Amino acid sequence: MPIVIAISGKRKSGKDYCTNLIREVLVQKRFDVSVAGISHSLKMEFAKKHGLKYEELLTDGPYKELYRKDMIQWGEEARCKDSGLFCRAAISSTMDSDIVIISDCRRRTDYEYFSANYRTVTIRIETSEEDRKQRGYQFVEGVDDAESECGLDDYKFNLVIKNQSGTDLSQQLNMVTEKISRIIDKLKLPINKE
């Protein structure tokens, strides 16, 4: 069973950017790591239903923003029936890895699902509004003041990474890998493969 690193953060906080860096650092340390997104199966189903470009919905460009409100609404209807639906799809898309990074947790039910089923480390990516704006963020009513963006605002995260100008990302990434290494030592997992 993998250790799950469950990442959350607001739009343009750098969830994908930090996910890639964390993955690289862990891979360098010879951990077997996969990355998955809760929104991937949601976007896949939504794209099929509406004839949209799935690959484009996965990028950080403006295309997905055109459909974000509708995707949120459709996803929430599906989650009302089964809150673990997209979390299960995300983890089952990974290939038997020792560590799975989930790049886009947004809701308490996401963290509840992973914490209930896996040894989970929750990481929040925090960024000033100024930096987010420089990366293309603009406030949208019904998105940035709704559960999709605010559902984890008061959560007690295991680690917080400040991904903004003036902060040292590499030092913070070391904290993450140290924490993961400690968990692995504690669990005595047969990990750290050649």
Ligand X SMILES: Nc1ncnc2c1ncn2[C@@H]1O[C@H](COP(=O)(O)OP(=O)(O)OP(=O)(O)O)[C@@H](O)[C@H]1O
Which residue ranges are tagged as binding site? 10-16, 135, 163, 172
Interface with ligand X, residue 43, by CB under 6 A: no
Return left, alpha or beta for 97; rule: phi > 0 is left, psi -120 to 50 is alpha, else beta.
Answer: beta
Q: Which does 39 bind (CB under 5 to 8 A by kind): ligand X, ligand PMV, none?
A: ligand PMV
# chain residues binding ligand PMV, by CB under 6 A: 11
Could you tell me which residues are annotated as the binding site for ATP?
10-16, 135, 172
Q: Which does 124 bind (CB under 5 to 8 A by kind): ligand PMV, ligand X, none?
A: none
Pairing of strands 119-126, 159-162: parallel
Of 189, 29, 23, 171, which Cα lies nearest the Cα of 119? 189
Structure tokens at 43: 């976007």
DSSP notation for 15-54: HHHHHHHHHHHHHHTT--EEEE-HHHHHHHHHHHHHT--H
Interface with ligand X, residue 14, by CB under 6 A: yes
Q: Which does 148 bind (CB under 5 to 8 A by kind): ligand X, ligand PMV, none?
A: ligand PMV
Q: Tell me which residue has tokens 């047969």.
A: 190
Is-contact 146 181, C-beta < 8 A?
no
- In angstroms, give the least distance from the CB of 87 to ligand PMV: 11
**According to CB under 6 A, which residues from 143 to 182 bind ligand X?**
163, 169
**According to CB under 6 A, which residues from 65 to 94 bind ligand PMV?**
68, 71-72, 75
DSSP 160: E
Interface with ligand PMV, residue 110, by CB under 6 A: no
- In angstroms, give the least distance from the CB of 93 to ligand PMV: 15
Q: Enumerate binding residues for ligand X (CB under 6 A).
A: 9, 11-17, 60, 135, 163, 169
